[in-house]
Amino acid sequence: MLESLIAGNRDPAALAELAKRRLRSKIPALTEALTGRFTEHHAFLARVHLDLIDQRTAAIDDITTRIEATIAPFHASLRDAIDEMTHRLAWLESRDDSQAQAIRLEAAALRRDIYEAQRHIDRLERHYYLKRDGHTPADGPQRGQAR
């Protein structure tokens, strides 16, 4: 709707028809709300603000890409270390000697720590990859989508 207003469309009914999802059920109220004065000056200011939002979003995307590239080697190392620890723990747990019970208790504690680390890594990956691919965890609109 904002893009249409900026482009010069001032017809409240036509603007209301651009509504999406839940706003579609409120077209009469939306038509009434869109009736009024929206001048070229308002269009200019709206364009300035939308452009600033796009610039900031692009900067955030660039920073995110750089952060991802910087942490990628650490992420891979951490995954490798967790895998190695998991294999070593499996070997320790398979032992059957006088220290087996103590080893199993310690191994269980380490497994919990490994599980928590993997859970946090997975959560961060989902969060950053969703944002990188144009989605937020709440799946709200991103740059380039309808406003």
Give 37-72 as a DSSP string: ---HHHHHHHHHHHHHHHHHHHHHHHHHHHHHHHHH
Report how far residue 25's alpha carbon sits from residue 135's, in angstroms, rounded to the nearest whole number. 25
How do the domains of the chain map onto residue ranges? 71-147
Q: Tokens 């950053």, residue? A: 128
Confidence of residue 43 (pLDDT cuts 50, 70, 90): very high
Question: If pLDDT is split at 50, 70 and 90, which confidence band does 114 have?
Answer: confident
pTM: 0.54
Of 45 and 112, the one with more pLDDT: 45
Q: Is the pLDDT of residue 143 over 60?
A: no
pLDDT band at 146 (very low <50, low <70, confident <90, very high): very low
- Virtual CA dihedral for 27, 21, 131, 138, nearest 10 degrees? 100
What are 64's two structure tokens? 């995110």
